[in-house]
Amino acid sequence: MAGAKEIRTQIGSIKNTSKITKAMEMVAASKMRKAQNRMAATRPYAEKMRKVIGHLFHAHPEYKHTFMIEREVKRVGYIIVSSDRGLCGGLNNNLFRKLVKELKEHRDAGTEVEFCTIGNKALGFFGRFGGNIVSQATHLGDMPHIEDLIGTVKVMLDAYAEGKIDRIYIAYNSFVNTMTQSPTFEQLVPIPSTMEEELKHHWDYIYEPDSKEVLDNLLGRYVESLVYQAVVENGACEQSARMVAMKSASDNAKNLIDELQLIYNKARQAAITQEISEIVGGAAAV
């Protein structure tokens, strides 16, 4: 039987760990609520933006923006949204694993890939993975601001406008519910033409000052808002994944402690029994 003292210290250390995981669980739970609210708050903007872009596809702008034109794909760009910190279960790894599978297909097809990483984890992973990281943003905190992302996204969009990249995807975890987050890939630009609905009649907007400037501005903002939404959603995913991971860690710790406590009690009992029988035996011998 292992020494009672060793078991006692082991129980002590597990107890300490479980205190930490319990605290992290509670912190994550409260942050999750906030992150979910933020996610809900950003939704109207994204919806309106989508509507306006939808109208634009309805209309017939005399100026075709590069974001609206499909071209042959030789190089693709990926904007990868991840968390800054770990201890959130398989959240980042699931995303990366699915992404690596996609990347392999690109490699087999002979297309080159460039990355733009948001969050520490993606930066670390794709740094090791051996890709070309053109831009990155880390330490966005719990309250990401769109200003923090504009620069990062612009690098990608500029590369697209210059023809260095022919297609840009975004990879992030979309929030299904507290227990489920699903890794999602979406095509950012060229803007998927599935948004084109049936055309009712021929019309166009009046553009002020002119269509080129307005469209440049609008489509840039559209992409930014999509990326921003992805970041906010990924933030909510991170917190809920962490909460679940920490909850299961606390539960495991509790089970371990129960088991060890049982072993400890048995060992203690055995020691006492042995001592008594020794005393009794000794007394009988006298």
Q: Which two tokens stand for residue 97?
A: 């694993």
In angstroms, what is the minimal distance from the CB of 70 to another protein?
Answer: 23
Nearest distance from C-beta of residue 43 to another protein, angstroms: 8
Closest distance of CB 52 from another protein, Å: 5
CB-nearer residue toward another protein: 72 or 208: 208
- Count of alpha carbons within 13 angstroms of residue 264, beta-carbon side: 15
Contacts of 207 (CB under 8 A, 6+ apart): 61, 213, 214, 215
Residue 109 vs 206, nearer CB to another protein:
206
Compute CA 225 distance to the chain's CA centroid, rounded to the nearest angstrom.
17
Looking at the Cβ atoms of 43 and 85, the one nearer to another protein is 43
Beta bridge pairs of residue 168: 77, 189
Alpha carbons 19 and 151: distance in angstroms, whole number = 40
- Which is nearer to another protein, 148 or 186 (by Cβ)? 148
Comparing CB distances to another protein, the nearer of 22 and 50 is 50
| Token digits of residue 230 | 């992805």
* Residue 31: φ, ψ to 5°: -70, -35
C-alpha span between 1 and 164 (Å, rounded) = 68
Residue 218 CA, distance from chain mean position: 27
Binding residues for another protein, per CB under 8 A?
A: 38, 41-42, 44-45, 48-49, 51-52, 55-56, 59, 146, 203-209, 213-214, 217-218, 221, 225, 228
- Name the helix (H) or strand (E) containing 184: strand 181-189
- Least distance in angstroms from the C-beta of 253 to another protein: 38
Query: In the bound complex, what is the minimum distance in angstroms from residue 162's beta carbon to another protein?
Result: 21
> Measured from the CB of residue 67, what is the shortest distance to another protein in angstroms?
15
For residue 1, count other CB atoms closer than 10 A to its CB: 11
Pairwise CA distance, residues 145 & 232, whole Å: 9
